[in-house]
Homo-oligomer: A and B are copies of this chain.
Amino acid sequence: MASRKSEKLIHIARRLFETEGFHTTGIDRILAEAGVAKMTLYNNFGSKDGLIVAVLNRSSKDMIDRLKKIVAEASTDPCEQILGVFDALAMWFSDPEFCGCMFQAAVAEFPDPQSKPAQAARAHQGAVADMFAELCTNAELPDPQALGQMLAMIASGAMCTARQTQTREPADHARQIAEILLERACSTNFTPPHAASSAKSV
């Protein structure tokens, strides 16, 4: 279990699914590039859909882990950390190999909301929103849950627009919007996070 072969399959399949789509990428293509026999795939994942789900789950975990790490290394200030996510997006979009968010593609290719890939995409969107919400909580911002969802939505819009327009601009726009949003949230009704010594209201 978790053999070297199935790891290789996940790794190769992820790259192919990302760059060429789920339906258009045939099983034979994955097997050839991974140098793995067909039966190994079916013994480990049961079906192509099984492999797809495995790839999605792995990708979600990897992406969020990596984001948290980048963000933690970027700054100790919670608000700066939130903006760091959008800086990471900008770097991602600048990569010539950038080809959009896998999970948005998964939802598009598997329209049935009950399908496993759609569920995985839904879970991923939730995980991203939760990550943002956690950072908002750290920043002592009001209503971190809603704010987290908004930030995740802005990030989604940036990813999808970057894919459509083939530019990195959306990341910068998204960062600006996030800045404005955080500024507003800070000044509304809670203690400003940057002036930590001030008295709490009421």
Chain A interfacial positions (CB closer than 8 Å to B): 19-21, 23-24, 99-100, 103-105, 107-111, 113, 121-122, 125-126, 146, 149-150, 152-158, 160-161, 163-166, 169-170, 173-174, 176-177, 180-181, 184
Chain B residue with minimal CB distance to A124? B164
The residue that A107 contacts in the complex, of B126, B149, B163, with Cβ under 8 A, is B163
A87 → B minimal CB distance (Å)? 17
Q: Are B146 and A153 in contact, CB atoms less than 8 angstroms apart?
A: no
Chain B residue with minimal CB distance to A171? B153
Contacts of A105 in B (CB 8 A): 108-109, 111
Chain B residue with minimal CB distance to A17? B111
Q: Are B169 and A177 in contact, CB atoms less than 8 angstroms apart?
A: no
Contacts of A155 in B (CB 8 A): 157
Contacts of A149 in B (CB 8 A): 161, 169-170, 173
A113 to B156, CA, bound (A): 19
Q: Are A154 and B125 in contact, CB atoms less than 8 angstroms apart?
A: no
A101 → B minimal CB distance (Å)? 9
Q: Are A164 and B108 in contact, CB atoms less than 8 angstroms apart?
A: no
Q: Are B109 and A100 in contact, CB atoms less than 8 angstroms apart?
A: no
| Contact (A177, B181) CB under 8 Å given A104-B108, A108-B109 | yes
Contacts of A174 in B (CB 8 A): 153
Contacts of A161 in B (CB 8 A): 125, 149, 152-153, 156
Q: Are A109 and B111 in contact, CB atoms less than 8 angstroms apart?
A: no
Contacts of A100 in B (CB 8 A): 107-108, 111
Given A153-B158, A153-B161, A153-B170; 8 other pairs, CB 8 A cutoff: A100-B111, A107-B163, A107-B164, A109-B109, A122-B165, A125-B161, A154-B177, A156-B156
Contacts of A113 in B (CB 8 A): 166
Contacts of A126 in B (CB 8 A): 165
A110 → B minimal CB distance (Å)? 8
Chain B residue with minimal CB distance to A180? B184
